[in-house]
Chain A
Amino acid sequence: MSHHEMPFWKKYIFSTDHKVIGLQYGITATFFLLFGFFLMILMRWQLAYPGVEIPLIGKALTETGALTPELYNALGAMHGTIMIFLGVVPMGVGAFGNYLVPLQVGACDMAFPKLNMMSYWVYFVGGVIMMMSFLMPGGAAASGWTSYPPLSVISNNAQTVWLLSMVFLITSSLLGSVNTIVTAIQLRAKGLNFMRWPIHVWAQVTTAFLLLLAFPPLEGAAILQLADRVFGSSFFLPSGLVVSGEKLGVAGGGNPLLWQHLFWFLAHPEVYVLILPAVGVVCEIVTTNCRKPFYGYKTMVYSILFLGFMSFVVWAHHMFMTGMGVTLSSFFQATTMIISIPSVIILTTILLTLWGASIRFTVPMLFAMAFLPMFAIGGLTGLPLGLTASDIHLHDTYYVIGHFHYVVAPGTLFALMGGVYYWYPKFSGRHMNEFLGKLHFWVSFVAINFVFMPMFLMGSKGVSRRMYDQTQYSYGASTQSWNVVMSTAAFVLLLAQIPFIWNMFTAWKTGKKVQNDNPWEATTLEWAASSPPPHENFPTPVEVYRNPYSYSATTRKVLPQFIPQEG
């Protein structure tokens, strides 16, 4: 291929190169993650010091300088929405999927490069629209990331903006997932049969299927809610609904639970969309740093597939308290218990890979290893939620918040940060600074546990989620002192990200150069390309000679997939 000089905007802005698009996703998602985190810091101030003026910026936000209940609701809804739909998914699927899947299957690019560019820009526009929700009169959307009707249907106009933005984000995900699946299946290098895919590719393909099949129902639901809001229909409004003392003037006959079913039909698979790419990333980091084959590759692959499949039949465990009846509840309780089996198997295979390994404690490895107990805590605390009897007590309390944050924050986000440290040499040809990396890791690790662990305690005491000021209730007042601890820890966590961001920017130009294209001595195909890879990735087509994660039986030396001879 000829290499003309391309103008800047074509090379870095409207690029069709999957690596550039992957980085664009990564940078945009990092921005949203930080922004979403910042919203939470504001809320944590209110939780720790209810009604007290926020230092420095409070007066710019409200008249008194303290958050109003309305603003608190809006910040909460936007925090959840931004973190999930604009932060973690674009990071795990958009950035890691886009950058790595083509490289790991030995392809020159995604199967549909223009479509790929479009996915990014549709996501970007969706993000901009979501931000505009803040500018609406009456404030941003405030019905939670779940947007339950009737509240969401009768709330202010920012909710319409939220719905519009969701339609964009969903469309972007659909385009992206078609692209990922086709790329991974069609553009495999010679010799790369399915059972030689790196686990990360399996995870990304399964994730793409979840997005492809679970997102459309939410798109449908969003259209119905838009119709309710804009055209005055009553899909989610029951007859005789009374709002502020007056009967609502709509036809009625709708069903608010319909929204919940459609929403959770997406949103449960969505939680696996959040976790699976992270599992893939952890597997890659762990095997490379263990210097031994992955324990139970096939078991892992089948667990991921089973997990993906089962995630479509557990959604109503979010709705045990809606009065849907014992039969349905029992069904969803059973499926929920079943789905925790593959989760445990996934953890076990990774743990058994660590067993007897000569571990290299690199920065990415620290993050990957921290992922394991954090994911375990998150997963295990899910079980009492999945059992209907205990869920009666725990539903809609801080316990639920603790549960899913353990999976998503010190779980998924830690894994993805580890991924950044691990593949940074691939993106840039340079290593990130090790000292700053360890500083980032240890401070974050300690702080994040102080943020989320007390939530289990508070939740068990009955403190409900989405509460503006728990000191108003006697049972809430008893755990209020924890709020101060948690908020302080959250602030420390924020500070701990400074070395990370600093490291990411400075290492690009001044980091230690990689010695060769495969600095970690990994086995998968992305390391066959130079670091950073050129346009089209592999100047000559790569070929695959063996399973991933192979090590010589005699010399214990690494046997990359792309090197023909043993030893």
Chain B
Amino acid sequence: MAVHIPYIDKPNPVTGVTNAKLGIWLFLASEVMLFGALFSALITLRLGVSDWPHGYDVLNVPLATVNTVVLIFSSVTVVMAWAALKMHNLKQFKTYMSLTLLMSFIFLGIKAVEYGKKFSHGISPATSNFYAIYFVITGLHGLHILGGIIVNAYLLGPGSHMWKSEPERFTGRIECAGLYWHFVDLVWIFLFPILYLL
């Protein structure tokens, strides 16, 4: 017995947004605080010791650069997927969404290679606080990528049936998923210079 909740497909005329869109913005605000806290922790730890390594000396900058490009590209494709729905083209949506997913897997694959190399050299969070914060921030970011993959895969697969019954609501969902994906991308854009280049 479903309740009739207003503004799930059309925006509330007073606030100009749908419920989901307001919800996702609030959620992202809390995510900003989460990563913000971790970055502040990084700064505090770094200021507290004299021997903090340079990221470019100990981390793999070329691989991370490739990953940066991959993520930015996926941010473009996720917008294209949404735009395709706006133009009522489900097929094109599926193409772009699949591309987004592909990019996310490439990202995780490269990340796994990076992690693997570190582990094989016996490097772990216990090695030093530089590595500890590196593993925690990139690990948490990786989990966010994984979460995005699950949501996007659902929206591409079984979730896409909604396109037939409630196209506007489905388009709204893709937009929210896109906003989330941009955020995950943005975190990386901060994380990459701070961890790898400084």
- Which residues in A have some Cβ–Cβ distance to B below 8 Å? 1-4, 6, 16, 107-109, 111-113, 174, 177-179, 181-182, 185-188, 212-217, 219-221, 223-224, 227, 231-235, 250-251, 253-255, 258, 261-262, 265, 535-536
- Whether A220 contacts B45 by the Cβ 8 Å rule is no
- Whether B127 contacts A231 by the Cβ 8 Å rule is no
Contact indicator per residue, chain B 39-51, by CB within 8 Å of chain A (1) or not (0): 0010011001100
Cα distance A212–B29 in the bound complex, in angstroms:
8
| A residues less than 8 Å from B33 (CB atoms) | 212-214, 216-217
- A-B CB proximity, top 8 nearest: A232-B126, A233-B132, A217-B37, A216-B34, A220-B37, A216-B33, A233-B125, A231-B125
Q: Total contacts A to B, CB within 8 angstroms? A: 136
Asked if B98 is at the interface (CB within 8 A of a chain A CB), the reply is: no
- Whether B125 contacts A111 by the Cβ 8 Å rule is no
| A residues less than 8 Å from B35 (CB atoms) | 220
B4 to chain A, nearest CB (A): 6
Given contacts A223-B136, A232-B126, A234-B129, contact A255 B45 (CB under 8 A): yes
Question: How many B residues, CB 8 Å from partner?
Answer: 40
Cα distance A325–B134 in the bound complex, in angstroms:
30
| B residues less than 8 Å from A265 (CB atoms) | 37
B39 to chain A, nearest CB (A): 9
- Whether B1 contacts A4 by the Cβ 8 Å rule is yes
A179-B23, A258-B44 given; name 14 further pairs at CB < 8 Å.
A112-B19, A113-B5, A185-B15, A186-B19, A212-B26, A220-B34, A224-B41, A227-B132, A232-B125, A251-B126, A253-B129, A258-B45, A265-B37, A536-B4
- Whether A224 contacts B1 by the Cβ 8 Å rule is no
Cα distance A261–B41 in the bound complex, in angstroms:
10
Asked if B112 is at the interface (CB within 8 A of a chain A CB), the reply is: no
- Whether B124 contacts A231 by the Cβ 8 Å rule is yes
| B residues less than 8 Å from A188 (CB atoms) | 14
- Whether B19 contacts A250 by the Cβ 8 Å rule is no
Q: Of all chain B residues, which has the CB nearest A250?
A: B126
| B residues less than 8 Å from A232 (CB atoms) | 124-126
Asked if B31 is at the interface (CB within 8 A of a chain A CB), the reply is: yes
- Whether B38 contacts A178 by the Cβ 8 Å rule is no
| A residues less than 8 Å from B1 (CB atoms) | 1-4, 6, 535
Asked if B128 is at the interface (CB within 8 A of a chain A CB), the reply is: yes
Cα distance A216–B15 in the bound complex, in angstroms:
26
Given contacts A186-B15, A253-B49, A258-B44, contact A220 B7 (CB under 8 A): no
Given contacts A233-B126, A235-B41, contact A111 B19 (CB under 8 A): yes
